[in-house]
Amino acid sequence: MQVSRDDILRYRVRAQQLDGSASGTDAAVLDLGVQDSGPDGAGLAFQLRGTRPPAEELLLAWSLRGAPHVYRRSEVAQVAAAVAPWSEADAAKRIFDASRPLRAAGIPVLEALDVIAAEMRAIVTTPTSKGDLSRELSARLDAPYLRFCRVCDATHTYEQPFRVSLLRAGLELEPGTSPPVLRRIPGWRGPAARVPDHLDPVGAVLHLLGPATPRQVAGYVDSPVREVAARWPEDTTAVEVDGEERSMLAADVEALTGADEVEGVSMLGPFDLFLQARDRATVVPDEAARKDLWRTLGRPGGLLDGHEVVGTWRPRSSGKKLRLQVVVWSGAERPAGTDEAAERLATFRGQAFDGYVS
């Protein structure tokens, strides 16, 4: 079955509830975790979807790709199991170059993560800053766990094992703290024995960012492709996208081909899930536009018009006033509805919208 990029993007807008259809205090994107990087993180993502989960029902933790994500607190044990490395090879991939000294010393990566997690939990008996935890942790660990950091001019734990071990240790991040403060998860009894289907990262990516290939899913999870392929859901359907075979959850095929046009303009945060898909050429076909949107440093937000990302936005704040630099890649006028989207963004930030700058 052939599907177009319009089919795909319309489907994703609906599946991710960017049409404002989230009900009550929940949101579908919480199945995969809502990345909370920068001031326009999880809070803006919820606002765009028409929901505001109570803070006490949410939990913030480093998880996939070592990034901070918000989850449902009621599912923390299941989430901890869902985002844990699947194998030794997967664990090595997720912690990057930190695996080399461990392997050279004959220490399995999964064993090393358990060691780090146990020490982290022993140290964090009360809310503890990341810096204090890192110093104490580094004093307790052997050389294969440590590296010299030129920026800090100190020897400390590799960053990725530190982050990957957070939930393993039964710890969470205290929202709104910078530098981060870590604390124990109340009532923690360890990761769950079973991961429910809706929290399985492979299935959740296929549902929220599908259709996709194993390589694209692996890019999101930051795992080896063969590990993702080995965990591919059985209930998938093959579709063709511009000559490439991808997979979709069978239950979502009807929604993929039957999604209606979406109207309205939204200002997506730089790390909104809609912009996290690994098929970037599908999301934004123009190469120059992709380079503008997905910058390594100073990443802007995306201007979403219906189901199309048509440009970028950057905040230019001055006290209680928010001005925006908006670039529409085609050179056309800002789409109708941009002012309303800007007003919503300003309200979210606790500011008043004060127009645009060039």
Say how far apart CA 60 and CA 47 lie, in whole Å. 17
pLDDT for 149: 81
Segment 89-117, tens digit of pLDDT:
999 999 999 999 999 999 999 999 999 99
| C-alpha pair distances (Å), 106 with each of 94, 101, 102, 103, 145 | 18, 9, 6, 5, 12
The whole-number average pLDDT for the span 185-213 is 97
Q: What is the DSSP string of 35-47?
A: E--STTSHHHHHH
pLDDT of residue 71 exceeding 80, the answer is yes
Label the pairing between strands 321-328 and 352-356: parallel
Average pLDDT, the chain: 95
Residue 17 tokens read as: 């509830």
- 91: Cβ–Cβ under 8 A, 6 or more apart, which residues? 85, 99, 109, 110, 113, 164
Segment 22-50, tens digit of pLDDT:
877 899 999 999 999 998 999 999 999 99
pLDDT for 148: 84
The whole-number average pLDDT for the span 258-285 is 94
For the chain, what percent of residues have pLDDT higher than 90? 91
CA pseudo-torsion sign 12, 17, 19, 21 = positive
- 90: Cβ–Cβ under 8 A, 6 or more apart, which residues? 223, 224, 227
Segment 141-162, tens digit of pLDDT:
999 999 988 877 788 899 999 9
Say how far apart CA 46 and CA 319 lie, in whole Å. 24
pTM: 0.96
pLDDT of residue 259 exceeding 80, the answer is no
